[in-house]
């Protein structure tokens, strides 16, 4: 851990990679990872290592590391635990810089495994090799089209990065994120962290020009002092979202058998959050919600929120959610009030939230879009929460429960013709987003989930996040405000 | 409000219904409601009332209430606000028992509207008519196949009932619920509640044999004392889940312009929750999550939870979530430990959570299912949280980002053949659920949302709820425990 993290460049941009333990059987993790590397479109050289095969997945297989045409930059090690030290020794002798140890059966299975970890580290140190894992799922580096995960996931490319001691939580974060318009630069499943640790990866990502937002799931922090230093330096440069597992006695107990981590007390972690500017996620949903918000939104100048939509009950809940998370719904400027009076029906709410009432659902949603622009222009308003209809897609769900001779009328109803209007509205919103540099967060009104809602995907891919609940929308904005204030206090 | 709520039977089981304000234009709410009544398959007589038409949506239209063949049990009133008092007077003269006033422009638009509400109520009292609304979206009574909502939604039929001062929040609850296997008996959008109030509907639903779970969204409570009495009596019989809007100053302000409600202080509401056995939902997601849990699950005997799955990081977060919500992960019985040793690989976690590790994903998921049965049998365990894989459906999302000549290998991988195994597993789980009468709650491991996950829908439709996050699973179980304890303290 004394080497500078900048030395990790070759890990994330390998010219060639060996997969030790790939075979013809898809039941083997080595084969799954090899498949994933191919499926992700990696452009470097790939060397499957297997003494019994000459060809695997259409690639030439090599009997040993001595027979590959070039020295691989990275070796992915998928052999049984007891063979790992020997394989690492061979990698070191071959001059390979990095080993990603997928194999499990180490510290997470008790004392014996902990001993085994020491041997692994010793072999790596002798060979001058840096290790990721063991007991990890692999690594993604989208800039190099390098997707090497044993679960074969290929997240969308972009600029969020994740480091996770749990491969599952990192994977779910990157896949849930990909479904919601967030692209990823790096994902490191760091496993038991016998060598390279969360701190090392965060330090690297802090300086990585391809990474704008960093998210970490940690169970155990081995070097608390260094973690604080790294987190502090990182949070000055980019948002660092941390989800900590094992903050309760029960969770800490579970962490021991998961990654062999000593989770540390909640009090220590809470103090860490306060000192460092870390953005704290309470659970895996908050982690994804925050990665999305920090990936897509500019930071607001302050905590004054404008709210608008055609659904009064939701406006009430948004107002509650804002107040609960420390946000403020200020009065609107006189100018905004006058402009709203001009474009809205007489019975609009005449205040913030701007409830345009059901009248906003007629025509082409102009009445929903206009208040958004007025709010974005208002100098009293730092960010806008709006309600996006996803009603067109309701039909496909309602239709099966509908009498057939009735459903023929459906296309004549408002719902039957809403989908194209919704897309038109979304395009208008993206124009507004580009014109005004204020955070614009949507709450989905329609179907649970996103089936058939193309305009929602369009919005998110173009930088306007959509959340499913009032709480989520207010929560992420409150965290953007807190981070902005943290930077402000530092003089940034 | 002096009449007994039992008198509402006719409202929910009308033999005939008049829709006043239906026309040939789908831009009119009356037409939308008429359409919804038809689409829902209502078997009674339907009388569209419109002096200018002879036929609407294939039904004979009537020029006035005097010309209908029978006296309608219910009149749905969709005319302009200023015409409502006169229409109600006519309904009263015709002997119609119930009016559902969809029209808006009353208390929610200020003083003048409040005056208008008084006139409406006066007309109803003179004619001996009971009113729902005004400013409401309508009503659903699935037992009568009566779906009369202006947004034309047709929730799945079942035994949960919703009363909501916000039509949108009630609608979203019933539609989100329908997507997750929850069926609904009644949904009342109660609007401004000039006459019949939330308390009246809750009282009716408490005695309604078709309703097993009641959920309410309230902004303002007009008669706090009666609300407490009704809630107390109701909670003795069935779960009563309440989401209160306007608990902050900002939310209360928004409620005034939404339903004209005076929301009352949070302190008063909190005291109400304590006294009554109400199950408190903090936001709209919690409301749906709770309706689902109380609809599908038996009450647990206690707060001892068994956790199992193949994903260690999730096990850590579940453990944290249980501890945070007051649940306990007890040690397993010696018998369970021995049984688990027999069926699991040697490196399983040897404790609760039962982490079977990635080894559980091979074969036909037997290794995931067996620990669930062992936990359900364990006398130390009152409820089980398990992790359900939804990995088969990942492929359709990953595939588009995959090289075409590579994707042909995909069917040979574990992911490529997982969907049928997942369905087989789900069927086994339903057998276990029926054999042991303990709550069984799943956490989804796979895609965000439920696209293409048939086995998830199968699980929920057969009584095993699936949640997307660790927090949700623990939260709903903690609320089931609290309610069970509340009933226990009452001697039930």
Residues of chain A with pLDDT under 50: 1-5
Contact list in A for residue B169 (CB cut-off 8 A) is: 313-314, 317
Q: Would the CB atoms of A471 and B347 count as touching at under 8 Å?
A: no
Higher pLDDT, A114 or B410: A114
A348 contacts A406 by C-beta, under 8 angstroms: no
CA distance A58 to B459: 40
Q: Would the CB atoms of B253 and A282 count as touching at under 8 Å?
A: no
Contact list in A for residue B80 (CB cut-off 8 A) is: none
CA distance B407 to A31: 14
DSSP B59-79: EEPBSSGGGSSS--SEEEE-S
A55-59, B107-111, B479-483: lowest mean pLDDT where? B107-111
Please tell me the distance in Å from B215's CA to the nearest CA on chain A: 15
Instruction: Count CB-CB contacts under 10 A for residue A58.
Output: 9
Q: Mean pLDDT over residues B147-154, rounded?
A: 91
Higher pLDDT, B264 or A73: A73
Report domain A1-135's class: alpha beta
Contact list in B for residue A180 (CB cut-off 8 A) is: 448
SS3 B294: helix
Mean pLDDT of chain B: 91
Q: Would the CB atoms of B320 and A247 count as touching at under 8 Å?
A: yes
DSSP A414: T
CA distance A336 to A330: 12
Residues B117-134 have pLDDT tens digits of 999 999 999 999 999 999
Contact list in A for residue B323 (CB cut-off 8 A) is: 248-251
Q: Domain B155-296: what homologous superfamily?
A: Succinyl-CoA synthetase domains (3.40.50.261)
Q: Kindly tell me the number of DSSP H helices and DSSP E strands found in chain B.
A: 18, 19
**pLDDT of amino acid B415:** 63
A43 interfaces chain B, CB cutoff of 8 Å: no
- Shortest CA distance from B254: residue in chain A: A316
**pLDDT of amino acid A3:** 44
B164 interfaces chain A, CB cutoff of 8 Å: yes
**pLDDT of amino acid A2:** 39
B141 contacts B76 by C-beta, under 8 angstroms: no
Q: Would the CB atoms of B312 and A166 count as touching at under 8 Å?
A: yes
B318 contacts B474 by C-beta, under 8 angstroms: yes
Q: Mean pLDDT over residues B78-94, rounded?
A: 96
Q: Would the CB atoms of B317 and A284 count as touching at under 8 Å?
A: yes
**pLDDT of amino acid A447:** 62
Greatest distance between any 2 Cα atoms in chain B:
81
B169 interfaces chain A, CB cutoff of 8 Å: yes
**pLDDT of amino acid B358:** 81
CA distance A294 to A479: 9
CA distance A491 to A69: 53
SS3 A264: coil
Report domain B298-489's class: alpha beta
**pLDDT of amino acid B450:** 59
B408 interfaces chain A, CB cutoff of 8 Å: no
Quote the pTM value: 0.94
Tell me the residue ranges of DSSP E strands in B136-205: 138-141, 146-149, 157-164, 184-189
The sign of the CA dihedral A169, A173, A176, A178 is negative
Smallest Cβ–Cβ distance between B401 and the set A154, A166, A258 belongs to: A154
A347 interfaces chain B, CB cutoff of 8 Å: yes
Q: Would the CB atoms of B319 and A154 count as touching at under 8 Å?
A: no
- Shortest CA distance from B358: residue in chain A: A104
B490 contacts B434 by C-beta, under 8 angstroms: no
Between CA B390 and CA B327, with CA A253 as vertex, the angle to 5 degrees is: 70
| Closest listed residue to residue B385, CA positions, set B288, B304, B308 | B308
> What contacts B4, CB < 8 A, 6 or more positions away?
none
Start-end of CATH 3.40.50.720 domains in chain B:
1-135
**pLDDT of amino acid A360:** 80
**pLDDT of amino acid A22:** 94
Q: Would the CB atoms of B324 and A248 count as touching at under 8 Å?
A: yes
Q: Would the CB atoms of A414 and B447 count as touching at under 8 Å?
A: no
Q: Kindly list the distances between the CA atom of residue A389 and the CA atoms of B148, B159, B217, in Å, as whole numbers in the listed order.
A: 21, 28, 21
- Shortest CA distance from A320: residue in chain B: B251
Percent above pLDDT 70 for chain B: 91
Q: Which one of A33, A46, A254 would you mutate to disrupt binding with B, by most B Cβ within 10 Å of its Cβ?
A: A254
Instruction: Count CB-CB contacts under 10 A for residue A330.
Output: 16
Name residue A18's beta-bridge partners.
A47, A75
Q: Would the CB atoms of A104 and B314 count as touching at under 8 Å?
A: no
Between CA A244 and CA B353, with CA A162 as vertex, the angle to 5 degrees is: 40
Q: Kindly tell me the number of DSSP H helices and DSSP E strands found in chain A.
A: 18, 19
Contact list in B for residue A250 (CB cut-off 8 A) is: 319-320, 322-323, 328-329
Confidence of residue B165 (pLDDT cuts 50, 70, 90): very high
Percent above pLDDT 90 for chain B: 74
- Shortest CA distance from A59: residue in chain B: B406
Between CA B488 and CA B492, with CA B490 as vertex, the angle to 5 degrees is: 55
Q: Would the CB atoms of A313 and B164 count as touching at under 8 Å?
A: yes
**pLDDT of amino acid B4:** 42
Q: Mean pLDDT over residues B256-274, rounded?
A: 78
Token pair recorded at residue A151: 């679960």
Contact list in B for residue A153 (CB cut-off 8 A) is: 394, 398
**pLDDT of amino acid A26:** 78
A397 contacts B179 by C-beta, under 8 angstroms: yes
Start-end of CATH 3.40.50.261 domains in chain B:
155-296, 298-489
**pLDDT of amino acid A82:** 93
Scanning A297-399, the segments in alpha helix (DSSP H) are 312-324, 334-343, 366-377, 394-398
> What contacts B261, CB < 8 A, 6 or more positions away?
B165, B192, B219, B220, B246, B255
**pLDDT of amino acid A413:** 66
Q: How many CB pairs under 8 A join A and B?
A: 278
Residues A11-62 have pLDDT tens digits of 999 999 999 999 988 778 999 899 999 988 999 999 999 999 999 999 999 9
A27 interfaces chain B, CB cutoff of 8 Å: yes
> Does B253 score more than 50 pLDDT?
yes
């Amino acid at each position: 851990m004394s080497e500078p993290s900048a030395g990790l460049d070759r890990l994330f941009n390998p010219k060639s990679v060996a997969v030790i333990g790939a075979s013809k059987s898809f039941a083997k993790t080595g084969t799954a990872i090899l498949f994933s590397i191919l499926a992700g479109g990696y452009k470097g050289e790939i060397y499957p290592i297997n003494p019994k095969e000459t060809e695997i997945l259409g690639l030439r297989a090599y009997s040993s590391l001595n027979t590959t045409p070039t020295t691989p930059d990275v070796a992915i090690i998928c052999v049984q635990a007891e063979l790992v030290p020997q394989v690492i020794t061979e990698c070191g002798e071959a001059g390979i810089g990095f080993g990603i140890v997928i194999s499990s059966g180490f510290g997470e299975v008790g004392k014996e495994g902990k001993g085994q970890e020491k041997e692994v580290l010793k072999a790596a140190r002798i060979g001058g090799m840096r290790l990721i894992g063991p007991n990890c799922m692999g690594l993604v580096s989208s800039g190099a089209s390098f997707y090497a995960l044993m679960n074969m996931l290929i997240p969308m490319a972009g600029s969020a990065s994740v480091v996770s001691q749990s491969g599952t939580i990192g994977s779910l974060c990157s896949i849930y994120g990909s479904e919601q318009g967030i692209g990823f630069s790096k994902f490191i499943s760091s496993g038991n962290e016998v060598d390279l640790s969360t701190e090392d990866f965060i330090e690297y990502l802090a300086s990585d020009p391809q990474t704008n937002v960093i998210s970490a799931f940690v169970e155990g922090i081995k070097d608390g002092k260094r973690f604080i230093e790294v987190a502090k330096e990182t949070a000055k440069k980019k948002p660092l979202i941390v989800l900590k597992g094992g903050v309760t006695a029960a969770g800490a107990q579970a962490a021991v058998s998961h990654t062999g981590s000593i989770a540390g007390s909640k009090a220590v972690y809470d103090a860490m959050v306060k000192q460092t500017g870390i953005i704290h996620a309470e659970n895996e949903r908050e982690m994804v919600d925050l990665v999305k918000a920090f990936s897509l939104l500019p930071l607001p100048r302050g905590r004054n929120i404008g709210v608008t939509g055609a659904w009064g009950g939701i406006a009430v809940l948004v107002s509650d959610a804002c107040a609960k998370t420390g946000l403020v719904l200020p009065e609107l400027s006189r100018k905004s009030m006058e402009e709203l009076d001009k474009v809205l029906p007489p019975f609009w709410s005449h205040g913030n939230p701007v409830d345009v009432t059901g009248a906003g659902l007629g025509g082409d949603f102009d009445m929903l879009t206009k208040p958004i622009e007025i709010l974005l222009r208002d100098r009293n308003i730092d960010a806008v929460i709006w309600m996006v209809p996803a009603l067109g897609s309701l039909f496909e769900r309602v239709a099966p429960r509908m009498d057939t001779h009735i459903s023929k009328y459906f296309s004549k109803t408002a719902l039957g013709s809403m989908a194209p209007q919704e897309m038109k509205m979304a395009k208008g919103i993206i124009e507004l987003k580009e014109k005004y540099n204020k955070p614009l967060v949507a709450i989905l009104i329609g179907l649970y989930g996103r089936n058939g809602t193309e305009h929602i995907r369009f919005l998110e891919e173009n930088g306007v996040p959509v959340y499913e609940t009032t709480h989520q929308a207010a929560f992420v904005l409150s965290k953007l405000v807190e981070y902005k204030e943290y930077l402000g206090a530092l003089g940034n």
